[in-house]
Amino acid sequence: MKALSQKRRHPLAAIALLLMGLLLTGGLYAIATSVNQAKADTTSFSASDVEEGGKLFAANCATCHGMGASGTQDGPSLVGVGAAAVDFQVGTGRMPMQMNGPQAQKKPVQFNDEQTKQLSAYVASLGAGPAIPEEHLLDEKGDAAKGGELFRVNCAMCHNAAAAGGALTRGKFAPGLADVTGKHIYEAMATGPQNMPVFNDSNVTPEDKRDIITFLKTIEANGSPGGAELGSLGPVAEGLFVWVAGLGVIIAFTIWLTSRTS
């Protein structure tokens, strides 16, 4: 007991305990990360998809992203971004970029579905990352009420409570979510394109993402029950309309009233 007590008071004991704690924490973090990543990597591609995707990448993407997608001063590395990131960026026409700017603009797609799949396969082969979501998560049959609550907590501060979009800093913006496919909404949440944060499966589960998609598609299908949307921009647009219309009515009434008295 005396020898054990002396070892506990050894000046290096605290350092040894600290190192043991760091190693244990790092090990647990690595295990948790690998588990989450393994859940994301559910999409499989054929060897021919990877090969053809590599050819497409070299011809169309390597100028900015570098050979092997290692990145250049004109474009970031794509190693580890996953198939979902490529499917979103290419499938919405944001990539290849038309011009440099605060953020990539949505435009007509440059590749067909098969080519997009092949590019996704090639990038996915370079490193583990979020996969293209499975079909059952995109069936729009989740809980719309829960999805609305999740959307208002996590998304409405940028995309607007009605998903109409909104302005951000330095020329950037959060786009409106009408007419966006459920797959691309899911992929955006999983990969965090542009200025959007990443909502991985640890903080927004796949079922939660399904609920959010259901909510967005529900409000898109139902339209505006209150009449004219006025851009769904909230009280500023509504107040401006009331001010302009109300002022116009007052002026018109004043002109009519004075013309009668004369």
64 annotated to bind ligand: yes
Closest CA relative to residue 162, chosen from 176, 141, 173: 176
10 annotated to bind ligand: no
Q: Using an 8 Å Cβ cutoff, are 181 and 87 in contact?
A: no
Q: What's the one-letter identity of residue 219? A: I
Distance CA 102, CA 149 (A): 30
Q: And the tokens for 144? A: 């719309």
Please list, residue by residue across 2-17, b when 16 or more beta carbons sit within 10 angstroms of its beta carbon and e when fewer do. eeeeeeeeeeeeeeee
65 annotated to bind ligand: yes
Cα 113 to Cα 55, 88, 205: the distances in Å are 16, 12, 27
Distance CA 224, CA 76 (A): 40
Distance CA 218, CA 216 (A): 5
136 annotated to bind ligand: no
Q: List binding-site positions for heme c.
A: 61, 64-65, 155, 158-159
Q: List binding-site positions.
A: 61, 64-65, 155, 158-159
